[in-house]
Every structure is written in C-alpha cells, then in structure tokens.
Structure 1
Amino acid sequence: MRADSVLLIWLALIAVHDFRRRTVPNWLVLAGAAAALAQLILEHQPVGLGWTEALLGFAAGFGALLLFYATGVMGAGDVKFAGALGLWVGPMALLPIWIGGSLLAALHGILWLALLRWPVLPRLALMLAHQRSAADGMAPSGRRPRVVPYAAYLALATAVWLIWGRQS
C-alpha cells in the first residue's frame, strides 16, 4: 500500500471518529504516529520528509496546540493528533493545514452559535454540538463540552492539502 494511501486512510479514521464522538482515541493517534515512523524508516515518506523535518513537525504540531489544551480550549486528543500529523507532513505544511482546519472549525462554531440563537433547524444545532447525554455514560463532568471536532477539521484540511499539493 502506498504511503499517501496509508496517510489518507488514517486521516479519514480520525475525522470520522472525531465527528461521531468528539474524541480522538490514543490508539488511533499512536497507530498514525507508528505508521509515520515506519514510512520514515522505509524511506517511503509521502511528502519526502527526512527525520529532522518530521521530528520538527512533531514538535511544532504538539507544542503549538499544547497552550490551547492548557487553557481548556482544546482536548488532549487534538494536541496529540497534531503532533502525529507533524510527523507525516513536517513543520512547513502545518501552517496552511492549521489555517484551513481553523477556518473550517470556525465555520462550524459560527453555524452552531447561529442555530442556537435562531433555532430554525434545531436538529442540525444538536448534531453540530453533539452533546453527550447521561445515557451515554460519558457526560462531561464540569468541563467545557467539545462542540467543534478540531482534529476532524485538521484531518480534512490535511487531505485537501495532500491531494491539492499533488496536482501542482
């Protein structure tokens, strides 16, 4: 299987899981990081990174979002995913990916807030918020609910960047 296909499958799994559950499981982040490291070892890295660029990408992805986690704005899974993503794409690609993912996440948040204020489509507002109920057994305990699936939007932005970058 080609390295870019492995990356796209991993991004799709992250996006689906984050959209559906608003979490990014550790096993999925570790699988992506392990696959990125394997691609580096085998010298089949999809965007041609070396070890230095990949490790700088990890540090940039993890470090930049760590502040957002520390302030309670973002979940730990988003931060870990950004670090693993940096292993795949390196530090230079993270900036356009962050911009694209952040714009998508902002649109999600604005639409959700608009639907809360003007409940034209209340089911869409609930779907966008994906509020967990006590019946799920996973009701947040005193923490801010995760309305925006940021890792999913980073994954989508990365897929667009990867596919669009190949076209030029």
Structure 2
Amino acid sequence: MQMQAMASIFLMWLLAIAVYDFQQRRVPNWLVLAGAVAALSALSFGAAPVEQDWAAALLGAALAFGFLLLFYALGLMGAGDVKFAGALGLWIGSSALLPVWLLASVLASLHAALWLVLQRWPVAPRLSLVLFGPSSRAAGNPPPQRVRFIPYAAYLALAAAVWMVWGRQSG
C-alpha cells in the first residue's frame, strides 16, 4: 500500500514537472527539492515505488546529474534540467536511466524536428504557438541570448512516467 502511495506521489511530481517545464521552459528549485525529499523519504521508509537500495538510488542520482551537467557546461541545457535529472535518479535508480534517457531524447528530437519544420513552413501557427511560445521576432523584440525551446525536463518526466507505468512490467 505504501509503495502504491509513493508511486502516485512520484507520478504527480512528474506531471507537475512536465506541465511547469512545458509552460515556463524552466523547472523551479522548490519542485526539484520536493521530489528529491520525497524520494529520500520513500527510500528511508522502504516504500520506494521502484525496488532498489540506497546505493542504486544514489548512483542513479549521481550519474543523471553528472551526465547532464556536461550538457549544461556546453550551454546546451538549462540548470533546472540537470537538477531534475539528479532528483529523478533518486526515484528510478541507475538501472532505469538508459531507457528513460533514450525515450526522452527521442521525444525531444521529435520536438526539435517539428520546430524546424514549422520554422520553414508555418502551416500551423497555433500549434507552433502552443509548442514554442510567442515568437520574439514577430513582436519586434531582439532575440534572447539563449533560446530554450525544448523542455527536456518535461520529456524526461514523461519518459519516466511511461517507464513507471509500462516499462517496469515488461522487464
């Protein structure tokens, strides 16, 4: 029963991350911290929705944070994505990182491809507005220094939710 409750909390946290990142293109620290505290609490009480020990959870957090930190250092990813990945690693451990990363990367790649298509052929301006926000060029504003049009934390959250609901059952 406790594991099911923690699984629900985990899925609600993932949903909150995805919604916030899609809408704001950022992940707030308070939301990342809440997820990390919940994961640590679940581990402490033996109620983690993913069967793993402390070592696997901490390794997952370190690998996720460390790997995405490289992309942040190169200016390719925001800090919120990196911090979220570390908290996510606490929840899913090291064994689930690869499938979650792969699915999230496929989703983010599809997002980027759609962005490129809609930039060249604006056949669906409303879809473009929903996916990418208002164009600063259309408003006559100078473009921002760093444009983050792919909400990678949202795709990580969606991939983790898919893995949680379907992926664990087949493994």
TM, length-normalised to structure 2: 0.90
**In 2 relative to 1, CA 77–131 (structure 1 residues): closer, same or farther, beyond 3 Å?**
farther
Q: Deviations over 1:37-76 (max 9, x none)?
A: 0001101011111111100001001000001001111000
Runs of 5+ in structure 2 lacking a partner?
A: none
User: Which residue of structure 2 lines up, in the alignment, with residue 157 of structure 1?
Assistant: 159
The 8 Å contact of residues 22 and 130 in structure 1, kept in 2 or not, is answered as no
Aligned partners of 1:59 and 1:83 also within 8 Å: yes
Match of 1:18 in 2: 21
Would the alpha carbon gap of residues 10 and 119 (structure 1) be closer, same or farther in structure 2, given more than 3 Å must change?
same
Residue equivalent to 2:119: 116
Listed as ranges, the matches of 1:31-110 within 5 Å are: 31-110=34-113
Q: Percent identity?
A: 62
Secondary structure of the 2:75 match is coil
RMSD: 1.8
- State the distance in 1 between where 2:106 and 2:94 align: 19
**1:62–1:132 distance in 2 versus 1, CA, 3 Å:** farther
Alignment check: 8 A CA contact 1:129 1:147 kept: yes
| Superposition deviation, residue 141 in structure 1 | 8.5
Q: How many matched pairs?
A: 163
Q: TM-score, normalised by structure 1?
A: 0.91
Equivalent position amino acid for 1:50 in 2: D
**Residues in 2 aligned to 1:153 and 1:41: alpha-carbon distance in whole angstroms:** 28
Q: For residue 136 of structure 1, what is the aligned residue in structure 2? A: none
What code does the residue aligned with 1:43 have?
Answer: G
How far the C-alpha of 1:126 sits from its partner, in A, is 2.6
- The alignment partner of 2:71 has SS state of helix
- Deviation readout 1:87-138 (Å, 9 max, x if unpaired): 00011101000000010011011001100001111222232222586xxxxx
Unpaired stretches in structure 1, ≥5 consecutive residues: 134-138
- Take 1:69 and 1:8, find their aligned partners in 2: how far apart are those partners? 26
Secondary structure at the counterpart of residue 91 of structure 1? coil
Q: Compared with structure 1, are the counterparts of its residues 123 and 91 closer, same or farther at alpha carbon in structure 2 (3 Å cutoff)?
A: same
2: distance between equivalents of 1:106 and 1:74?
14
